[in-house]
Chain A
Amino acid sequence: AQTVTQSQPEMSVQEAETVTLSCTYDTSENNYYLFWYKQPPSRQMILVIRQEAYKQQNATENRFSVNFQKAAKSFSLKISDSQLGDTAMYFCAFTLGGANNLFFGTGTRLTVIP
């Protein structure tokens, strides 16, 4: 079975500070892709960052970076210089091979405090 676990239901961070959201996953497959999606209140879910499992280098997108530990099946998201617009639900997800059917975690609600 494919599962994603996000153990932090809620987190908060001061504006301009750094926060790390945790995610672990379980799959017996070797070819997969990992994602962090952001769902702002009453707005569309958008892709934040994407990591191919075969790549050892951690993905980075501006203020967002990941720490991918394949052996530990861990995929955390670091947000640097947090901004008020980062307030949202963050979902960790993965998909096998080249498919588009994502397995999502239950999400972490992040609040950025002014």
Chain B
Amino acid sequence: ETGVTQSPTHLIKTRGQQVTLRCSSQSGHNTVSWYQQALGQGPQFIFQYYREEENGRGNFPPRFSGLQFPNYSSELNVNALELDDSALYLCASSFVGRGAGELFFGEGSRLTVL
């Protein structure tokens, strides 16, 4: 099995810009979710995609959006970046039918907004 891979690993943006983060799910997994982990905090659920549609969303504004592709890779897009968006963004994949909450995480993309 290949693991979950994310790119880029680090990036720096300025306030107001837009960013796209990418994730390649673990082989055989059909669900992907994204989490934001601010410094010193636990991860917070952003949203989840299953069969290329969003099927769950946390308390994040619409400027956080995503896509899931037929090969189960995924993107997280954030528009109009704010300083508070600085965080580690984690992608996690899973398989519907497997144990609930059993997620396989990538190493994350660390975003710094200046």
Q: Chain A interface (Cβ within 8 Å of chain B)?
A: 4, 33, 35, 42-47, 50, 91, 93-95, 97-107
Contacts and interface: CB of A to CB of B under 8 A. Distances in A.
Contact of B48 (A33, A43, A100): A100
B102 A106 contact: no
A104 B43 contact: yes
Nearest to B106: A44
Given A100-B33, A100-B56, A100-B94, A42 B45 contact: no
Contacts of B3: 44
Contacts of B35: 102
Interface of B: 3-4, 31, 33, 35, 40-45, 48, 56, 58, 90, 92, 94, 99-103, 105-107
Nearest to B50: A100
A93 to B, nearest CB: 7
Contacts of B102: 47, 50
Given A100-B33, A101-B56, A47 B45 contact: no
A95 B101 contact: yes
A100 B55 CA distance: 10
Given A102-B35, A104-B42, 7 more contacts: A45-B92, A47-B102, A50-B99, A99-B101, A101-B56, A101-B58, A102-B103
A102 to B, nearest CB: 6
Contacts of B44: 104
Contacts of A46: 105
Given A100-B56, A101-B45, A33 B100 contact: yes
A42 B107 CA distance: 7
A91 B90 CA distance: 14
With a 10 A CB-CB cut-off, give which of B3, B4, B100, B103 has the most chain A CB atoms: B100
